[in-house]
A and B are shown apart, each in its own frame.
Chain A
Amino acid sequence: MKKTAVRNLRLCTKDCLCLYVCPTGATDTENSIIDTDKCTGCGDCAAACPSGAISMVVTHYPPQQQKNDDVKSILTSLAENRCRSERIARQLARKTDRPGEKKLLTAIAISSRLVAEDIMREAGFMLPQSRCTHELLEKILADPPQGFPAEAARKLLEMIEIND
C-alpha cells in the first residue's frame, strides 16, 4: 500500500534526523509540513526520528467496517438525543448571564456534539471516502434545503474518491 510521511508538529523536537535521511528533501520545508509531492513513502524519516513525530500514512484508505442496520438504527436514535442535548445546552448557555453556568452549559453543549459525532462515526460515517458519505451528499444535493452550501458539497464529491 502506498504511504506518505506526515509530521506531528506537537511532537517534533527539531532533531532534524529526517533531513539527514530523506533521499528527496521532502522533509526540508519552510513550514515543517512534509512535501507530499516529493515524498516517496520510503519511511526512513519515520524510522530515524527520535521523538516518534513522523508517521507513515496510507494514501488510499481501505474500506471501512460494514455496519449492521439494527446497530445503525439504534445509534442514530442515540445521536438524535445527544444532538437535542447539545441544542438545549447551547440555548441555555446563551440565555444565562451567570459566568460559571455559561461555561458549564457551553462545555456540555460541545461535549454532547463530540459524543454525537463519535456515535455517527460508529453508525457508518467513519471515513470521508465511504460510499455512504457520497450518497448522503448526493441525496441532499438532489433536494437541498434553502441556503445549503451546494458548491461545497459538489466540490467534495469531486475531490474525494469512493473507496468501497
Chain B
Amino acid sequence: MKYVCTVCGHVYDEEAEKVPFSSLPPQWTCPRCGAEKAMFDPLEEKKERGNDGSTDESPEQGQGETKLSAGVLAAVFSNLARGCEKQYKAEEAELFAKIAAFYTSLSDDDDTDASPESLAALAQEDISSTYPAARKTAENKMDRGALRICTWGEKVTRIARSLLSQYRKGGEELLRESEVWLCTVCGFVYIGRKPPELCPVCKVPSWKFTNVEGGEM
C-alpha cells in the first residue's frame, strides 16, 4: 500500500519503508515538505476528476460589476507593483505599492472573529469547497493559468492549515531551533533550520525563500 502527500506529492511506500503507514507516530511529518501525517491520502489509481461528460454547469453569475473589497484591491495593486518590478519599471512599481499600502490599511479593521480556529476554518472551507469549485470552472473553460493557481493555492493553503494544527498540538516547541521559511513565489511555508532545496509546490530554488522574522508587517 502507498500513501501520497496532498501538499508535495511525496509517496510513502509501506513495502519499501518496511513500516506500515498506520504504525507511524501521529507526530510523524512528511520528510519532504513537513506536512502532517493526516495530510496523506491512500494512493489509488488516478481519481477521475472533473469532466464526466457533463456540460458546463458552473453557476452563471451575472459578473458584470463585482465590487472588490479593500483587501482584494490591496492584492490587485501589490501584484501590479510586482509586475512593474519584473518589467524594470521602478517608479510605477512604487506608485502601485503606495496604492496597495493604502488598501491594506483600509482593510485592516479589527475582525472580531479573528482566532486561530477561524483561520483554520477558512482554510478548510477553501480546501473543501472553494478550490474544487474554482478548479471545475477552470477545467470547463479550459483556463490553464486558473488551473495552475488552483493547484498551487490549494497546496499552500493545505500546508498553512497543517502548520496551524501542528502548532496547536506542539506549541512553541515546534519552532525551537527552527526558522520559518516562506517561498516568495508561491507562498509555501516551511519550518526547519534551512529552507528546502527546491520549493515542494512551485519548484523554485532555495534562494527564493525568505526567513520570516515576525512583526515586519
Contacts and interface: CB of A to CB of B under 8 A. Distances in A.
B17 interface: no
Interface string A53-65: 0000100010001
A74 B215 contact: no
B164 interface: yes
A115 B187 contact: yes
Given A85-B119, A128-B83, A72 B63 contact: yes
Contacts of B156: 111, 114-115
A85 B215 contact: no
Nearest to B119: A88
B119 A118 contact: no
Give the dominant DSSP class at B's interface: helix
A84 interface: yes
Give the dominant DSSP class at A's interface: helix
Contacts of B180: 103-104, 106-107
A48 to B, nearest CB: 20
Interface residues of A, number: 75
B187 A120 contact: no
B128 interface: no
A113 interface: yes
Interface in A38-83: 57, 61, 65, 67-83
Given A111-B189, A128-B96, A83 B107 contact: yes
Interface residues of B, number: 89
A136 interface: yes
Contacts of A71: 137-138, 141, 143, 146
Interface string B153-180: 1001100100110010001101110011
A115 B157 contact: yes
B204 interface: no
A122 B214 contact: no
Interface stretch (B7-15, B27-35, B43-51, B69-77): B69-77
Interface in A142-163: 145, 147-149, 152-153, 155-156, 159-160
Interface of A: 6, 57, 61, 65, 67-94, 98-123, 125-128, 133, 136, 140, 145, 147-149, 152-153, 155-156, 159-160
